[in-house]
Amino acid sequence: MENKSNQKMGKKAAVAATIGSVIEWYDFFLYATASALIFPKVFFPSADPYLAMLQSFGAFAIGFIARPIGAAIFGHFGDRIGRKTALVLTMFLMGLSSLAIGLLPSYDKIGFWAPTLIVILRLIQGIGVGGEWGGAVLLSMEWGQKKRQALMASWPQMGVSAGLLVSSIMVSVFMTISGNGFYTWGWRIPFLFSFVLLIFGLIIRAKIPETPSFQNVQEENQVSRFPVLEVIKKHPKEILLAALVRLSENGPFYVYTVLMINYAMDNFSINKQFIVNANTAGGVVMAFCIPLFGYLADRFGIRKMYLIGVGATLLWAFPYIGLINTGIPMVVFLATALAMIPHSMQVGPQGAFVAQSFPARLRYSGLSLGSQFGSIIAGGIAPLICTFLLHKFGTSYVISFYIIFAAIITFSASLLVKACPEEEEDNADTELSAVSSTI
C-alpha cells in the first residue's frame, strides 16, 4: 500500500515539477526571444545595428552570470530546508521580474534607466532560474523509482521545451494581434501574462510534500550546515564535470533558438514571425523527444544515451549551417526543428546523469552549481561569441566549429563522470531487491 502511495505521489511530484518548470522557462525564453527581436530597438537603440545586437545579447548573457548565484542561494535552502520551499521562492523571483519587464518604460521614455533596469531584472531572472533547474529535477527524480531515474528527471527537462513552445506561441500570437503596435505594446502582454502563470504554479507546487531522499537526510541528522561550501570542498571535480557536460547541449541550443532568429532575418529577409514559429516547432519536437530519450536512457544506459547525443550534435554541426544557408524559409524551419533531436538526446538523461554524482545531502547544491556554471560558459555567451565570430570571419560555418569544439569537450567530460558511492550502493540495493522479489 505504501509503495502504491509513493508511486502516486511520484506522479504528482513529476507533474508539479514539470508545470513549475514550464512557467519559469516560459519567462526565461520570453526574454531570450525578446533579446533578438525587441530589446535592440526598445532598450538598446543605436545607429549601428551590430552594436545594438551586441548590447542586447550582452544583457542576455548577464542573466547567465547570475545563475550560479541563484544556484548557491537556493542550493543552500534546498539542502537545508527542502527542495519544495526553494522551488516556491525561485518561482516568485522569475514571475515578478517578468511582470516588471512587461511594465518597464522604453529608452525613449526614461533614457539610460531603461537598459540599466532591464539588466537588473535580467540578473534577478538569472538568480531565479539558477535555483530552479536542479530543484525541479530533484523534486521529480527523488520521488521516482531508481530504475526510472532518467525518465523521472526528464519530465522537468520537458518543461524547458514546453516553456520555449508556450513563449514562442505567445510572441507569435501578439505579433499578429498587435500588428504595427508590436514594438510599443504588443510585446509586453506575454510578459504581463507571467503573473497569471505565477499564481497557478504556486498553487500546484504548494501541494507536494518533501521528497523521500531529503526526508531520509533529515531523519538521519545528515543535513549540512553549509551545503554549498561543503560540496565545493568535497566535490570540486564533480561540479566541474557537471558544468562541462552541458557545453554541447546548452551552447548550441541558444545558437538554434536565439542567434539564428537575428541571422535569418538579416541575411535572408525571412519574416520574424516565421522564425519564431520555427522555435515553436522545435519546442514540440523537444516535448516528445526529451521523455523518450529519458526512457531509453533507463533501458540502455544513461551515460551511453548521453554520449550518443553528444556525437549526434557534433555530426549535425555542418549540415545544420548548410541548411540554414539555403535561405529557403521552409528549410530553415525544418533545420530548427531537427536540431532539437540531438539536443533532446542529451537533455533527456542529463538530470539523472549529473545528479547521481552527488550524495543526497548535497545534491541540490552540487547539481545546481555545476549545471549553472555550465550555463555561463556555454549558453549564456553563445549568441554573443557567435555574433562576434560571424562579424570577424564573415562565414557562418565558423559556428559549426564552435559547436564541434563544445561537443569534443563534453564527450571527454562525460567519460569521466562517476556515480558517488552512495548512489552506487543504492542502485545495488535496488537490483538486489528486484532479484529477491523475482525469486
Number of alpha helices (DSSP H) and beta strands (DSSP E) in the chain: 22, 0
Domains for the chain: give ranges and CATH numbers.
Answer: 2-433 (1.20.1250.20)
Q: What is the pLDDT of residues 20-55, one digit of tens each?
A: 788 877 887 788 788 877 888 888 876 577 787 778
Which of 391, 78, 17 is CA-nearest to residue 204? 17
Q: What is the pLDDT of residues 260-291, one digit of tens each?
A: 877 888 788 788 778 878 888 888 899 889 99
- Per the CB < 8 A criterion, the answer to whether 210 and 142 are in contact is no
Cell, residue 211: 521528497
Cα-based torsion angle of the residue sequence 66, 72, 74, 78 in order, rounded to the nearest 10 degrees: 160
Residue 436, pLDDT score: 37
Tens place of pLDDT per residue across the chain (439 aa): 455 666 677 777 777 788 878 887 788 778 878 887 788 888 887 657 778 777 887 887 787 788 889 999 999 988 998 888 888 888 888 888 889 999 999 888 998 898 889 889 988 888 888 888 788 888 888 876 677 778 888 888 887 778 878 888 888 888 889 888 888 899 999 999 888 888 888 887 777 777 888 888 888 888 888 999 999 999 999 999 999 999 999 899 988 887 887 788 878 878 877 887 888 888 889 988 999 999 999 999 999 999 999 999 999 999 999 999 998 999 999 999 999 999 999 999 998 899 888 998 999 899 889 988 888 888 767 888 888 888 889 898 999 999 999 999 999 999 999 887 665 444 444 333 333 333 3
Residue 90, pLDDT score: 85
Terminal Cα distance for the chain, rounded: 21
Exposure pattern of 408-418 as b/e (b: 16+ CB <10 Å)?
ebbbebbeebe
Q: How many angstroms separate the CA atoms of 67 and 374, rounded?
A: 10
